[in-house]
Amino acid sequence: MSDTNVRETVGEPTSVLASHEIEFFRTNGFLSLSRITTDEEVAWLGEVYERLFREQVGKEDGVQFDLGAVESGQEPVLPQLLRPSRYAPELRETVFVRNASVIAAQVLGADLDPDYFDHMIFKPALRGSVTPWHQDQAYHDPTVRHRSVNFWMPLDGATVDSGCLQFVPGSNRGSVLPHHHINNDPAVHGLEVDEPERYTEYAAACPLPPGGCSMHASYMLHYAGPNTSPRPRRAYILQFKGTSTPLDVPVDNYWITSPQRGR
């Protein structure tokens, strides 16, 4: 897929969903918005983003690290930074945060937790590695049923070639599927769902312009290909949560507690 699939950002950013969009999100577990912030803010966010990675902010705290399998001395293939707004508090005062929080309240309801989680995932041009099929909940507390919505915004046009997100529509309505560490190596932080080939034929790709946004629900199976394009793919993600409910039977997340069982 070429860059011509990315629409221009035109019109006002989306600050509230129409009822048919809420319905689509509830049914399919994802939604694509052509615009959630302004071009000016995207340009400004790009500068903040570059600085945080250039200065390797958060590395000593263990919150900037590579999601891929990187040998020491190699260039990073999938660097990420957890909670960048702790290091750059100005990130909390954005149109992106304001619009996403209103939309999150629309889809999660009044029990929305105002303390959102933010996350930057950088997929470098030509060498950014694949983000395998996974559910975010495979990383999280297995004793509760989560309710959350992620807002995934690229600062560069995101295409299939550069690693836009892909989803399995409706997979959000299931539970946590068995996962394993990438390459079956517990030293690699990233997880992959078992037997991913079972899901790929159902994949729906969400190419986006800079400042556009895809939303996805808890438990959504998602994936992003390697970045084979000559452009970086810088993604900035906000996750909002509603109230979680305790599970009668916790998920057996052996891929974290005893990963050798999955081999």
What are the structure tokens assigned to 190, written together?
A: 């990233």
Which residue sits closest to Ni ion, CB atoms considered? 136
Nearest approach in angstroms of CB 176 to Ni ion is 13
Distance CA 61, CA 75 (A): 20
Q: Which is nearer to Ni ion, 136 or 192 (CB)?
A: 136
Strand partners, 158: 208
Nearest approach in angstroms of CB 222 to Ni ion is 6
Site residues (vs Ni ion, CB under 5 A): 136
Q: Which is nearer to Ni ion, 21 or 136 (CB)?
A: 136
Q: Which is nearer to Ni ion, 66 or 136 (CB)?
A: 136
Residue 119 and residue 181 in contact, taking contact as beta carbons nearer than 8 Å: no
Question: CB within 8 A of 74, min separation 6: which ones?
Answer: none
Q: Which is nearer to Ni ion, 6 or 193 (CB)?
A: 193
Distance CA 208, CA 8 (A): 9
Nearest approach in angstroms of CB 134 to Ni ion is 6
- CA dist 154 to 20, 24, 162, 179, Å? 24, 22, 11, 26
Q: Which is nearer to Ni ion, 35 or 216 (CB)?
A: 216
Nearest approach in angstroms of CB 121 to Ni ion is 8
Sheet holding 64-66, edge to edge: 30-33, 213-217, 148-154, 233-241, 113-123, 79-82, 64-66
Nearest approach in angstroms of CB 136 to Ni ion is 4
